[in-house]
Amino acid sequence: MTGAGIAAARSSTAQLAEIVPQVEDVQWELPSACDGWRIIDVVAHLAALASEAVDPPPPDPSLPKNRERYHDVRVDERRGWSHEDVLDEWRRSSPRQLDLLAAAQEPPRAGEPVEVPGLGTYPRHLLANTMAFNVFCHLRNDMLAPDGPLPFTLPEPADDQVAPAVEFMLAGLPQMQGPELTVTVNRPIVLDLTGPGAPTVTVLPANGPTGQLTVTPGADATTQVHSTALDFIAWATTRKPWRDYCTITGDASAATPFLDCLNII
């Protein structure tokens, strides 16, 4: 199970809670590093995810199927709210979300498949890693300097925060973009990640025209993409250009289409 995922989600959420009281009213209106979102909109996004986890809304077929556009809609619904109303929703719903995720770490529920619309299907216990990824990524890449506008610092992230976030990203990699990404991989590609939270995995081509990519542990190919795990969180979500953070050994032409297409949400 992913006890590490819930621990990482709690840790990053606690760090965000430490930052929130330091943010001045005018700073909530500053543009974040997440295109189109202010700092308060980033928190609104996390609050919306938490609220939907603890009190799922009824299905609405009019909502966008594309997950990024879906998130934009949920943020837009909160743009008229006061800063305090957004923060209140986040403070109220996030602890309940963490409790629900913690309860999903034990059998038999832990292994149940759960579809996350627009992102794929995951064992229920891995949903803790989605929160770990979301809070970590948005806080450190979109809100805080040097990429975001908030001039606050946090301790350097260690394995226990980074690894669960990367684990979710690798679980989502074969699913989120479907055939769009699948067709870019014709030969195995190694992602050789280093630093805190870093695994080394091999991305294998789909087995047949309707298959998915497969991500397996270890280095099982000569074409290898080298990066730190922290940088992977930034470039694999298209926040940063991969060419600035990766080196390729082996056949670069085998890896480049995959890297150009990859976009973990």
DSSP code per residue over 172-232: HHHHHSTHHHHTT-SS-EEEEEESTT--EEEEEPPSSTT---EEEES---S-EEEEEHHHH
What confidence score (pLDDT) does residue 210 get? 83
Percent of the chain at pLDDT exceeding 90: 92
Confidence check: pLDDT of 6 > 90: yes
Q: How far is CA 45 from the centre of its chain?
A: 13
Mean residue pLDDT of the chain comes to 96
CB neighbourhood size of 238 (10 A): 14
Q: Work out the average pLDDT over 209-216.
A: 92
Q: Work out the average pLDDT over 57-82.
A: 93
Round to whole Å and give the CA distance between 116 and 123. 10
User: Residue 224 pairs with which residues in a beta bridge?
Assistant: 190, 249
Q: Work out the average pLDDT over 146-168.
A: 96
Q: Work out the average pLDDT over 221-238.
A: 97
pLDDT for 136-151, tens place per residue?
A: 999 999 999 999 999 9
pLDDT for 20-51, tens place per residue?
A: 999 999 999 999 999 999 999 999 999 999 99
What confidence score (pLDDT) does residue 209 get? 81
Nearest to 260 by CA among 205, 185, 178: 185
Q: Work out the average pLDDT over 215-223.
A: 96
Question: Which one-letter DSSP state was computed for residue 155?
Answer: P
Q: Work out the average pLDDT over 156-184.
A: 96
Round to whole Å and give the CA distance between 248 and 225. 5
Q: Work out the average pLDDT over 156-182.
A: 96
Query: Residues 258, 181: contact at Cβ < 8 Å?
Result: yes
Q: Work out the average pLDDT over 211-231.
A: 96
Cα-based angle 87, 102, 63 (whole degrees, multiple of 5): 55
Confidence check: pLDDT of 2 > 70: no
Percent of the chain at pLDDT exceeding 70: 99
- Which two three-digit tokens encode residue 256? 């480049």
What confidence score (pLDDT) does residue 25 get? 96
pLDDT band at 1 (very low <50, low <70, confident <90, very high): very low
Task: Give helix 127-137 / helix 159-176 axis angle, nearest 10°.
Answer: 110
